[in-house]
Amino acid sequence: MKERGSRTKSTLGLAGLLLVLVALCAQAEPPSSKLPGRTPDSKEPWGAFLGKAAHFAIGRAYSVQHPSNVVFLDTVNLYKIVEEGKLGDPERLPRFVRLLRPDITDTDALVLFELKPDNEESRREGREQAGRYLAVLNEAVEPDKKLAGGTGFEGSLFLEFENGGALWQLSWRTPEPGVTLYRWSYRRKKPDASWEERAAQQEEELPRKEIAQHGELAEQAIRAAYDKSEWPKGFQGQVYLPVDCR
């Protein structure tokens, strides 16, 4: 009877934990609002747009830094991570969490990262979300393939929109296991100066006017830089990836 009661309690606890995880993921979707700089009928919020660009850049940066590892980004769900990462039996995952997608999962290093804006509230949410993803995964994987929160992941990239023009910087750090925090910042125009000289200027908050003017190009230019494809139409600048910033 004691054993049965303990098992029931454990099952109920896991079910409650998973329900909270699903609720957290649902709450992470920001409310809809107009986003200047994209198509006139765009409904994507400011924070969501910048977050999407940051998620793509940071995820690709991790993959580039670990070329021999099997790395899954936020386009891949938990079921495929367990299955394709050869971690265990994906059927052991509860059905209602199988389609959830952690931001970065490295199934060779057995680590996971959640990406959040660099503020205390988002850091707390990232900590809770990473912890719940790990709890779910570690219930399904083999005993010798348990995952943990990743550490030591940091970097920076710059976007230059015209020669001598303003710079945008995306930087990220991992202050605690499994939680990578990112922030956008801005450097004013300084004609006839190298991008390194302008990058050394005092950083400022990214102006909303700049987002409105260059927002659409930012994500497209980052994708083009990583994919080594053609620059988006109207982009006259350069992207300096983390390897250029060392």
Residue 75 predicted with pLDDT over 50: yes
- On whether the CB atoms of residues 114 and 179 are closer than 8 A, the answer is yes
C-alpha count within 13 angstroms, C-beta hemisphere, residue 169: 22
pLDDT tens, position by position, 113-160: 999 999 999 999 999 999 999 999 999 999 999 999 999 999 999 998
pLDDT tens, position by position, 210-245: 887 787 788 889 999 999 999 998 888 889 998 776
Q: At what angle do helices 46-65 and 208-227 cross, to 10 degrees?
A: 30
How far, in Å, CA of 187 to CA of 203, rounded?
5
**pLDDT at site 216:** 77
pLDDT tens, position by position, 17-54: 554 454 445 444 433 333 333 444 444 555 566 778 89
Residue 165 predicted with pLDDT over 60: yes
> Greater confidence, 164 or 181?
181
**pLDDT at site 192:** 80
The domain limits of the chain are 44-149, 155-245
pLDDT tens, position by position, 166-212: 899 999 999 999 999 999 999 988 888 887 888 888 899 988 888 87
Residues 6+ apart with CB under 8 A from 4: none
Residue 72 predicted with pLDDT over 90: yes
- On whether the CB atoms of residues 160 and 237 are closer than 8 A, the answer is yes
Q: Is the backbone of residue 110 left (phi > 0), alpha (psi -120 to 50) or beta? A: left
Alpha helix segments (H runs only) across 35-192: 46-65, 78-84, 120-140
pLDDT tens, position by position, 79-100: 999 999 999 999 999 998 999 9
